[in-house]
Structure formats: C-alpha cells, structure tokens
Chain A
Amino acid sequence: MAGVNPLAFRREELFSAFLDGELSAEEAELVNELLHGDKEAMEEYRGVQQVRRALRMLPELEIPGWLLPDGHLGELLSAYLDGELSTAEQRQVSDHVVGCVQCRGELHDLDRARIAIRSLPGVDTGQLDTIPAPPASRSRRLAVAGSIGIAAAVALFFALSLGSQPEPAFSLDELGNHHIARASAEPGFAVFPPAIEVSGP
C-alpha cells in the first residue's frame, strides 16, 4: 500500500527522542528491540544521529561585548548622538551610560568632537554656482574654497586642541543641556538618559 508507514514514522520519532534521552523506560526498551538486528532501522537511527550531531556541533558564537553589562558601547555612542538608534537601542545606551564611567566619558568626548565639526563654517555651493564667473573664476573659486578650507582646518585644529587639553570635570549638566536643546529642535529625539539628573538651562 502506498503512503507513509505510520509505524516507520513513529520509529524515527522514537529514535530522535531516544537520542535526546526523552523516552520513558518502556519506549527506550522498544527502541532497543527495534534496533536489534534490523539493518534498516539501524540506518534510520544513524541518520537521525548524524543530523543531531551536526546541529550540536555548530560552533557557539561569541556575543558582541557591548551587548553585555560589562561591555562597552563603541559605535553605538555616535549613532546615539546622531539620533540614529531605535527606541530600544536608545534605552540600551541610556541605561548603560548611567552606570559606565568609560562610556560616559567617551560619549562626552564624542559629543564635543561632534559639536566642533558641526560648527565649522559651511560652504553654500548653490550660491557659489550662481555667482557670475569673472575671467579668473576658476582660480578665484579655488582661492575661496582654499581659504574656507584653511579656515575649517584652523577651526578644527582649535577645536581639537581644546579637546586635547586636560579634561575638565565631566559636566552632565552641560551635555544634558545640549541634548535638551537638540531634543527640542528635533522631535522624537531622546533626551539624555533620564536616569541622569540634568538641570535646565
């Protein structure tokens, strides 16, 4: 008769559970009987055993360190400052930063660097394009771009120099205020970790 043999199917299931040590004493005895001298059953048993072994030999992967309480947040901090994290991640960062001096310091440094970079003078390329080109436009534009570049470099230098000076006492207030300002400008952005007390401006 065509179709699945229910007994054979049950036999394989018994083998599977037998290997896991999940059978009752009677069922385990039944498996022993089934395997006794039955080549086909033995083959099935080995097949189940092989799959099970392959699964159990899958390498156990290391969890990224920042996911654990004593790990650190690394690149998540920059994304946090940029408001690029999911709500769950924001909470993860907030919770972690409250208790981790190292990540709090790093967040502070990143925030300062970010402010310094963002405060560099920008170039309105749209306006430059609409300025009628004088004869020496190319060299003049290069000169303008060059001077802006130099100004930017000087500003960056000062910003970084400031950053490399002896670190003042870490001010949560200062950072908190910055985030409050940012939060008010960008609806939806999480304010600095609620667990950190921040005084208003």
Chain B
Amino acid sequence: MVDEITPSWEDVAQRYGRKIYNFAYRLTGNPDDAADLVQEVLLRVRKGLSGYRPGSFDGWLWRITRNAFLDGVRRQNRRPESALPEGDHHALGSSPSPDEVLAAVRLSDDVQAALLKLPYAFREAVVLCDVVGLTYDEIADATDIPVGTVRSRIHRGRKMLRDLLTWPV
C-alpha cells in the first residue's frame, strides 16, 4: 500500500481554495463571508496539518470547512436552521425559460436565491454534492451523518429547489 503524502498548506490552498470559496459562497450568497471562511479554513488547515493522519484527506478538509462555517454562523448569531417561509414556495423564478446565455445567468441567480431558502442541512448536502462534487460517502464523512441520511437530504433538498424554481419540464 502506497503511503498517502500529506500535502503542504500551500498545496491545500491552491488545490482546494476555490472549492472552499464556492462552497461558502453558495451557502451564504455573500462574497465577504466566503472569503472569511477560506481564511479561517486555511488557518485551521495550517494548524492541523501536523496532526493529520493519512486517510481521507477530503473528508478531513471538508469536516474542517464545515465546522469553520458553522462556527462562523454561531459567531454571527445567525440561525443555521432557517425554516422555509410559509407560502413562499413559488416566490422565485416564475418567469419561464428565456433562451441561451440570458437564461443561464438568470437561472443561476434564481438557483442561488432558492438555495438560500433551504434549511441549512439540506442546503449543505446539496452544495457539497452538486457544487463541491463530493460523493455521498465523502459527505457522510465530512458531516458525520449516515450515508442514507445524506442521500435523503440531497433528494429532499433538490425537491425543495424544484418547488421553488418553476420552469417548464
């Protein structure tokens, strides 16, 4: 078995910085919060690398990222569990699909807005899966929940988004 080489802090920043930034941006919709998170995660990685035991590096990193994010939320007294507003399920994206580029831009705005309406647990699962590109196992590892729950949360998150985003199928 080949030993996994622990990456340097700089490697982590270069390789994962953008992913972490996108993860945070999609969860918060805010570039400043996303930048803060990247800084915090990289600091924690720098401190923690010496104690890292070769294994699932992605799981380790995303656990740090997730914890840093939740700590930030707590610090700002934001509630991570935001309830889906009553009667607001169809508030977004009522316009049908225009075409090509304009549609893509609009759609991404609508998707981002809809994402922010999801309760945290579902938003996180969907973002880790569809934005970060982790497998269900990796998400389970990072979030410390069973794979079955991950699968259910991703499905329910997507279903909520489907209800929030109305476009012709």
Contacts and interface: CB of A to CB of B under 8 A. Distances in A.
Interface of A: 12-13, 16-17, 20, 22, 43, 46-48, 50-52, 54-64, 67-70, 86, 88-89, 91-92, 95
A58 B10 contact: no
B151 A13 contact: yes
Contacts of B40: 88
Nearest to B107: A54
Interface stretch (B14-22, B54-62, B82-90): B14-22
Contact of A12 (B31, B43, B155): B155
Interface of B is mostly: helix
Interface of B: 9-10, 13-14, 17-18, 20-22, 25-26, 31, 34-36, 38-40, 42-43, 46, 104, 107-108, 111-112, 126, 129-131, 135-136, 151-152, 154-155, 158-159, 161-162, 165, 167, 169
B26 A17 contact: no
Contacts of A50: 162, 167, 169
Contact of B165 (A43, A54, A57, A59): A54
A20 B38 contact: no
A16 B38 contact: no
Contacts of A56: 130-131
Given A13-B152, A68-B13, 13 more contacts: A16-B154, A17-B136, A17-B155, A43-B169, A46-B169, A48-B162, A51-B161, A52-B130, A57-B104, A57-B108, A58-B131, A60-B18, A63-B38
